[in-house]
């Protein structure tokens, strides 16, 4: 581990994250790995478990309510669980209680990194007691993703007023922060995926989906596509992240295996070490999301598909407001359009795959982390402005 460009990060970077560390497949994990490569130790607080964990693991829930217990999870990375009473997204009282618990948790954990990154807007109140630079990294339009969340406008306004910097993955999300001009740092792919040797030929008429499976996965669209293309198969790789209240949606997704036996397969979580082989065997990579829930996303799967040259067929929401669409990508608005685009992708010129791979090579996590660090440390490019009000935050 070496320190190259940012000696000010010797005290480390802390993530108050929106996910667990395992599986380490998301944006915050990719950036954390890059930071370690640059010589910055990382402390990583996992998304909290609420009181319901008392039913299954009461001792562990209590141990992580008041302070962290950080254990090595990867070279240069220590990770702790966190417990709370109720999710802060449930309303103003829940937000204040959760933020108070988080603030005490960090204080008792001797939290003193040079840079702290928060990702849930309802946890922001806890930032007021932190030293160092505090950044909000926004990866979702939370109102679209979690329509049951309460108090989001006030939370986002507070972040806009107080954060040392706001980073968003898509320009669409910039409008969520009144009075700020956030820095846009999209997601990316990794060099390992780009450089891994080819593992074999593509299967004929075989689609893949690689990513989290949640309510925004359009089950009805996929059902119609498989009905329209009876000689195609689809394998879905990823973690099921349906909340408890959405069990019916999870059941509808899992029912696709029974409806299309031998043609639709849910293969479960996929480690990134197996990703090259899965993508090399695919005719096309799908992003079949409900457009209203996907608006403002920067889908990591887009970059990963392109890194292996796989044709991308995506529903609206991810790409149509982006000025950086991968070459030869099909953005569709119906099952009929998706089916037509899949058939066309199977017969595309060979040069299209090379163009996609070259596009992904310019958008690696190494490059993204450089841009992210410049923003997080206050080194904005010329012409990019924003409100910096850390004194307001620390005074609050």
In whole angstroms, what is the distance from residue 287 CA to residue 282 CA? Answer: 13
Q: Report, as an integer, the average pLDDT of 52-56.
A: 91
Interstrand relation of 165-168 and 133-138 (parallel, antiparallel or unpaired): parallel
* Strand (E) or helix (H) holding 237: strand 233-237
In whole angstroms, what is the distance from residue 76 CA to residue 250 CA? Answer: 36
pLDDT tops 60 at residue 393: no
Residue 27 in contact with residue 185, Cβ under 8 Å?
Answer: no
DSSP 306-340: HHTT--EEEETTSSTT-S-PPTTPEEESSHHHHHH
Q: Which two tokens stand for residue 201?
A: 């030929």
* Cβ neighbourhood burial of 86 (10 Å; 0-12, 13-18, 19+): middle
Task: Summarize pLDDT for 273-317 with one digit per residue, the tens.
Answer: 999 999 999 999 999 999 888 787 788 999 999 999 999 999 987
In whole angstroms, what is the distance from residue 34 CA to residue 189 CA? Answer: 12
pLDDT tops 70 at residue 378: yes
Sheet of 183-184: strand order equals: 71-74, 77-80, 42-45, 13-16, 115-118, 133-138, 165-168, 183-184
Question: 71 falls in which pLDDT band (50, 70, 90)?
Answer: very high
pLDDT of amino acid 379: 83
In whole angstroms, what is the distance from residue 21 CA to residue 18 CA? Answer: 10
Residue 207 in contact with residue 377, Cβ under 8 Å?
Answer: no
pLDDT tops 50 at residue 389: no
In whole angstroms, what is the distance from residue 164 CA to residue 179 CA? Answer: 13
pLDDT of amino acid 321: 65
Query: Which residue's entry shows tokens 């306004």?
Result: 157
Task: Summarize pLDDT for 350-362 with one digit per residue, the tens.
Answer: 899 999 999 999 9
Instruction: Pick the more confident residue, 9 or 265.
Output: 265
């Amino acid at each position: 581990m070496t320190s190259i460009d940012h000696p000010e990060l010797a005290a480390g970077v802390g993530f108050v994250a929106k996910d667990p560390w395992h599986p380490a497949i998301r944006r915050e994990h990719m950036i954390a790995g890059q930071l370690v490569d640059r010589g910055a130790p990382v402390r990583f607080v996992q998304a909290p478990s609420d009181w319901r964990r008392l039913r299954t693991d009461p001792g562990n829930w209590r141990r992580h309510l008041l302070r962290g217990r950080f254990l090595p999870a990867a070279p240069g990375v220590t990770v702790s669980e966190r417990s709370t009473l109720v999710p802060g997204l449930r309303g103003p009282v829940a937000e204040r209680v959760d933020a108070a618990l988080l603030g005490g948790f960090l204080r008792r954990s001797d939290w003193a990194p040079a840079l702290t990154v928060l990702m849930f807007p309802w946890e922001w109140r806890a930032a007021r007691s932190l030293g160092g630079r505090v950044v909000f990294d926004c990866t979702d339009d939370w109102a679209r993703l979690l329509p049951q969340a309460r108090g989001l406008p006030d939370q986002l306004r507070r972040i806009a007023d107080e954060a040392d910097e706001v980073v968003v993955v898509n320009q669409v999300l910039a409008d969520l922060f009144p009075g700020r001009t956030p820095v846009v740092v999209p997601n990316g792919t990794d060099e390992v995926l780009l450089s891994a040797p080819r593992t074999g030929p593509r299967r004929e008429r075989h689609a893949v989906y690689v990513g989290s499976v949640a309510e925004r996965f359009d089950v009805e669209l996929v059902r119609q596509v498989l009905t329209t293309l009876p000689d195609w198969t689809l394998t879905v790789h990823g973690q099921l992240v349906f909340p408890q209240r959405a069990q019916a949606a999870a059941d509808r997704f899992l029912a696709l295996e029974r409806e299309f036996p031998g043609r639709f397969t849910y293969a479960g979580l996929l480690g990134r070490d197996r990703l090259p082989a899965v993508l090399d065997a695919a005719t096309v990579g799908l992003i079949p999301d409900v457009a209203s829930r996907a608006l403002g996303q920067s889908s990591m799967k887009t970059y990963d598909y392109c890194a292996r040259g796989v044709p991308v067929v995506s529903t609206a929401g991810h790409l149509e407001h982006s000025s950086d669409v991968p070459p030869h990508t099909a953005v569709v608005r119906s099952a009929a359009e998706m089916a037509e685009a899949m058939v066309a992708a199977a017969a595309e010129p060979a040069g299209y795959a090379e163009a996609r791979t070259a596009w992904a090579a310019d958008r690696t996590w190494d490059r993204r982390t450089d841009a992210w660090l410049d923003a997080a440390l206050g080194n904005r490019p010329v012409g990019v402005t924003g409100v910096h009000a850390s004194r307001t935050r620390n005074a609050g």
